[in-house]
A and B are shown apart, each in its own frame.
Chain A
Amino acid sequence: MNLAYREAVGEKGAKPLPGSLRVNPRLSQWLKILREGRVDVASGKVEIGQGILTALAQIAAEELDVALERIRMVQASTAYSPDEAVTSGSLSVQESGTAIRHACAEARAIYLRAAAARLDVPVDSLTVRDGEIVGGSGLRTSYWELADDALLDRDATGTVAPKSASSHAVVGTAAPRRDLADKVFGRACFIHDLELPGMLHARMLRPPSPAATLRSLDDSAVRSMPGVVQVVRDGSFVAVLAETEHAAKRAVGRLAGAAEWSEQANLPDEHAMAAWLKAQPAETTVVDTRAPQVPKPVARTVKATYSRPYVAHASLAPSCALAQVEGDVLRIWTHSQGIYNLRKDLALAFGMPPEKIVIAHVQGAGCYGHNGADDVAFDAARLAKSAIDNRPVRVQWSRPDELAWSPVGAAMAVDVEADLDSEGTIVGWRHDVWSNGHTLRPGRAKTPVLLGGWHLEKPFERQVSIDPPMAGGGGGQRNSVPIYDFMGWTITSHRVLSMPIRTSALRSLGAQANVFAIESFMDELAAEASIDPVEFRLRYLADARARAVVEKAAERAGWKQWKRGEGRGHGIAFARYKGAGAYCAIVAEVEVEVDVRVRRLVIAVDAGLVVNPDGLANQIEGGAVQAASWTLKEAVRFDRTRITSDAWDTYPILRATQTPVVEVHIVSRPDCPASGAGEAAAGPATAAIANAVFDALGVRVRDLPLTADRIRAAMA
Chain B
Amino acid sequence: MLRQPAHSRPMALRTEPVRLRVNGVERTVDAEPGITLGDVLRDILKLKGTRFGCGAEQCGACFVLVDGETRYACTTEAASVAGKSITTVEGLGSPEAPHALQSAFLAEQAAQCGYCTSGMLVAAAALLARTPHPSEDDVKQALDRNLCRCGTYPRIVRAVLRAAREGSS
Give the B-binding residues of A (Cβ under 8 A).
48-51, 174, 176-177, 179-190, 192-193, 195, 219, 223-235, 243-247, 249-250, 314-318, 363-368, 386, 388, 396, 398-399, 457, 614, 618-619, 621-626, 628-629, 647-649, 653-657, 659, 661-662
Cross-chain contact of B51 among A180, A190, A226, A656 (Cβ < 8 A): A190
In the complex, whether B93 has a CB less than 8 A from a CB of chain A is yes
B residues near A225, Cβ cutoff 8 Å? 11
Given contacts A656-B140, A656-B156, 7 further A-B contacts (CB under 8 A): A49-B112, A49-B115, A185-B95, A186-B47, A188-B46, A648-B59, A657-B144
Chain B interface residues toward A at CB < 8 A: 1-5, 8, 10-14, 32, 34-36, 39, 42-43, 46-56, 58-59, 61, 88-90, 92-95, 98, 102, 105-106, 109, 111-118, 121, 139-141, 143-144, 146-157
Question: Which residues of chain A are near B113, meaning CB under 8 Å?
Answer: 48-49, 316, 363-367
- Could you write out 7 A-B pairs with CB less than 8 Å apart? A186-B92, A245-B43, A316-B59, A316-B116, A367-B113, A649-B58, A655-B144
Interchain nearest-CB distance for B16 vs A (Å): 12
Candidates A179, A187, A247; contact of B48 at CB < 8 Å: A187
A622, B157: Cβ atoms closer than 8 Å: no
Q: Which residue of chain A has its CB nearest to the CB of B59?
A: A648
Q: How far is the CA of A315 from the CA of B151 in the complex (A)?
A: 12
A321 CA to B62 CA, complexed, in Å:
20
A180 partner, pick from B32, B58, B114, beta carbons under 8 A: B114
Q: How far is the CB of A394 from chain B (nearest CB, A)?
A: 10
Of B98, B102, B115, B154, which one neighbours A365 at CB under 8 angstroms? B115
Contacts A190-B51, A225-B11 hold; do A185 and B152 have CB atoms under 8 A apart? no
CA distance A246 to B117 in the complex (A): 24
Question: B32 near A656 (CB under 8 angstroms)?
Answer: no
How many residue pairs link A and B with beta carbons under 8 A? The number is 219
Q: Which of A185, A365, A625, A626 is B49 in contact with, Cβ under 8 Å?
A: A185
Chain B: interface secondary structure?
Answer: loop
With beta carbons under 8 angstroms apart, the residue of A179, A233, A621 that contacts B151 is A621
Assembled-state Cα–Cα distance A703/B152 (Å): 26
B114 contacts A234, C-beta separation under 8 Å: no
When A233-B2, A316-B113, A647-B58 are in contact, do A227 and B150 touch as well, CB less than 8 Å? no
Note all chain B residues with C-beta closer than 8 A to A628.
Answer: 151
Pair A656/B157 contact, Cβ less than 8 Å: yes
Whether the pair A226, B140 counts as a contact (CB closer than 8 A) is: no
Q: Nearest CB to that of B137 among chain A residues?
A: A657
- Nearest-Cβ distance from residue A400 to partner chain B, whole angstroms: 9
Q: Which of A226, A227, A618, A654 contacts B112 (CB 8 A)?
A: A618
Residue in B closest to A201 when the chains form the complex, CB atoms = B43
Q: Whole-angstrom distance between the alpha carbons of A185 and B47 in the complex?
A: 11
Whether A316 lies near B2 (C-beta < 8 A) is no
Q: Contact: A246 with B152, CB < 8 Å?
A: no
Looking at the assembled complex, report how far the CB atom of B119 sits from the nearest CB atom of chain A, in whole angstroms: 9
Partner of B13, one of A244, A368, A657: A244
With A180-B105, A621-B154 as known contacts, state yes or no: A185 contacts B115, CB within 8 Å.
no
With the chains together, A235 CA to B144 CA distance in Å? 42
A638 to chain B, nearest CB (A): 20
CB pair A653 B10 closer than 8 Å = no
